[in-house]
Amino acid sequence: MSRAVAKIAVSAATYWLDKPYDYLLPPELAEKAKPGMRVHVPFSRGNRRTEGVILAIAEHSDYDQPLKAILQLLDEEPVLSEEQLKLAFFMRERFFCTVYDAVRAMLPAGLWFDEEGRRRISDKSIEMARLAIEPEEAEALRDAKRLRSPGQAAILEQLCAFECLPSHDLLLHAGTKRQALKALEKAGAVELYRKEAYRRPQIHLGATDPLPVLSDEQERAFTGIDALAEADRAGAALLFGVTGSGKTSVYIHLIDRQLRRGRAVILLVPEIALTPQMIQTFSSHFGNEVAVLHSSLSVGERYDEWKRVRTGKARVVIGTRSAVFAPTPELGLIIIDEEQEETYKSENIPRYNARDVAKYRCAKASCLLLLGSATPDIVSMYAAQTGRYAYFELSTRYNEHELPAVEIVDMKRELRRGNGGSISERLREELQTNIDRGEQSILFINRRGANRLISCGECGYVYKCPRCSVSLTYHSTNRRLRCHYCGYSRRPDEACPDCGGMLKYIGVGTQMVETELKELFPGSEVLRMDADTVAPAGSHEKLLDRFREEKIPIMVGTQMVTKGLNFENVTLVGVISADQSLYAGDYRAGERTFSLITQVVGRSGRGQKPGRAVIQTYTPDNETIVQAASQDYQAFYDAEIGMRKLQHTPPFSELLSITASGLSEEHVFRACRRIRERLDALLTDGSAEVLGPAPLAVVKVNNRFRYRVMIYGQANKGLRGVAAGVVMEFCRDKQFSDVAIYADNDPND
């Protein structure tokens, strides 16, 4: 008699061993087991107890050898739908990961098990109390109990008024103890039962606000996008709108229309710092329909929000990158705000891009993907210009407000005038003007810490990380040098450890700017927002609330302050060092710089008062900086797309990389050279160009050296298949057993 067989993706299987493994279903599990449920199975020669997920169930196996049996079902019902299992296979093919890696990315941490097989978080429930008798009978019993048992009478009084209440609240309002409640339960007058409760982040749950009024331009964009969303077919659209043009208002109307159609919506934002404002805005319109998914939630909150989405209790999902996996039934629209941001690309396994996952989900659900930005990704704009995406534009700010007036300051002149600080004379004057007016300012510098490095002025000695190929950054708060890659830290010496010379503090970060501002404006408070201040404060939201409510004159920060923030009293923005990201040695360096400057300048003048911006640079004639200052995206796009075509970089090719890392630099380089030779042998038809091996920008991180081979070619499964095959081949090669090798799509670093 044949026995049912389960096809299982095993968590212990490495990338080059990843495939569906056949396991026998014991008779006692055969009826319960379903695809999408997790199991424990014996794996490898040692029969190590390992987690797996059922992909499919078959009547027989194609293998002749005896099969091992499933040990245990871990779920009472499937935690993954058929669509999610298909998505896991897509991710394996697209992002060079195992199926189980993809599954881990989809499920909240609260669903996973510890080493002893217990769930990390359990479902929360609360005890409820309700009448077990008719209200008239309860009222008569209440009157009879008033003298002999006033506590029981008070409980009956509350339940007659409210029908059912949480036991804790009931006893609190009745002013009595639990013995009175248990006595009523024993007498059959009250029933106690458990009800599922949700651990929820704090959101607006009061009366909902009316939808915002759209301008004529917003109305045209909304009508066009909504027509595409209503068509019930897969598609993509780009909404290009200058900063402050009111893209969020268009999103609100689109979401409202989808909810009226009984469909769900996912809205992605690039930074956790943006979610508080987004949540406040959208929950004020959609109330309890809103669910929040991001990494700052507790394990319990994230798990319960996931449950609310899965059961359809919440149909508007707002979150960062991983929210793209939200298990929404009846998906109608995915919106990716600030779609150009690199934070949508994961740097950990699986190395997925949320935009690619969103495209797949929209294709399978026959719905619309909407990309929104004031500085769209060059690839997205090219797709819109060539007709692959629908295109909509908001060319003016809402209510016809003017864009900020921008002034470029040449920092070389400041040096010649004897100003060696990070704040130019022009920016200092503008900051003083804002302080005098009671208006607020935001300053942006994309480096945290006090100084970029400490160097000896006599012998040139520089403090470097012993584990990474970077100099240590000085943090004045705790007077320590720190590596921002591996976390190594130490105290600086009084004098140069090599020659005893005087040490010089070079370069500036957010801490140094903060210190300089406090010296320039001693009576004014300065708020710093970077990775070093967010953790002690508890959250981005607390810092942003302080800035808004206390009207703190100046906020200085890293990329956290460049996008999505909307403060009506901010009328001045300063870019401390516009050149910092311009010469990163990456084909996207210009795009990153343009986006950062444009976005942060757009934080100014979003209320009734006109905005201004000061951009400090050592290269004031640089084309990218001039275009960002004038907010001229079209001019930047025209120049950049011409350069991309000459370089044969995306969108004119697909970019893949194969990276090797290990403790021996020589061995890592040799592995990469062999990978290059293998790729050259396989790609002989001229369809792709192979470059490298070359070191990464930071070649050593935590004592591991990193080299890379790049592949430029036409986007297709065949090219990705070649890259995947080479990775699997080298992972099996015992000669390179000490070298970790992985492939990636369009890496950020």
**DSSP secondary structure letters along 571-631:** EEEEES-TTTTTTSSSTTHHHHHHHHHHHHHTTSS-SSS--EEEEEES-TT-HHHHHHHTT
Query: Which CATH architecture does the domain made up of 654-745 adopt?
Result: 2-Layer Sandwich (3.30)
Indicate the fold that domain 5-107 takes in CATH.
GIY-YIG endonuclease (3.40.1440)
Nearest to 376 by CA among 645, 746, 636: 636
Tokens of 372: 């929104």
Per-block mean pLDDT, blocks of 10 residues, the chain (749 long): 83 91 91 93 90 92 87 92 96 95 92 71 84 89 87 90 85 88 90 84 72 94 96 95 90 97 95 77 89 84 90 93 95 96 92 96 97 96 96 86 90 89 94 95 86 83 93 86 92 91 85 91 91 69 85 91 82 91 82 92 87 94 93 94 93 94 96 95 88 92 96 86 93 91 88
Beta-sheet strand order (sheet of 331-337): 290-293, 316-319, 264-268, 331-337, 368-373, 235-241, 390-394
End-to-end CA distance of the chain: 56
623, with CB counted inside 10 A (0-12, 13-18, 19+), is middle
Residue 727: the pLDDT is 94
Query: Which CATH architecture does the domain made up of 216-400 adopt?
Result: 3-Layer(aba) Sandwich (3.40)
Cβ–Cβ < 8 Å for 93, 356: no
In CATH terms, are 5-107 and 216-400 the same topology?
no
Tokens of 392: 């909509």
How many angstroms separate the CA atoms of 241 and 23, rounded? Answer: 54
Q: Tell me, what DSSP letter sits at residue 344? A: G
Cβ–Cβ < 8 Å for 94, 356: yes
Alpha helices in 311-464 (DSSP H): 354-365, 378-385, 411-416, 425-437
Nearest to 199 by CA among 298, 286, 127, 327: 298
Residue 365 zone, left/alpha/beta (φ > 0; ψ -120 to 50; rest)? alpha
Helix, coil or strand: residue 98: coil
How many angstroms separate the CA atoms of 87 and 92, rounded? Answer: 9
The domain locations on the chain are 5-107, 125-196, 216-400, 405-450+508-643, 452-492, 654-745
Is pTM beyond 0.85? Reply is yes
Residue 1: the pLDDT is 40
Q: How far is CA 103 from the centre of its chain?
A: 17
Indicate the fold that domain 405-450+508-643 takes in CATH.
Rossmann fold (3.40.50)
Q: Tell me, what DSSP letter sits at residue 424? A: -
How many angstroms separate the CA atoms of 6 and 52, rounded? Answer: 11
How many angstroms separate the CA atoms of 569 and 548, rounded? Answer: 8
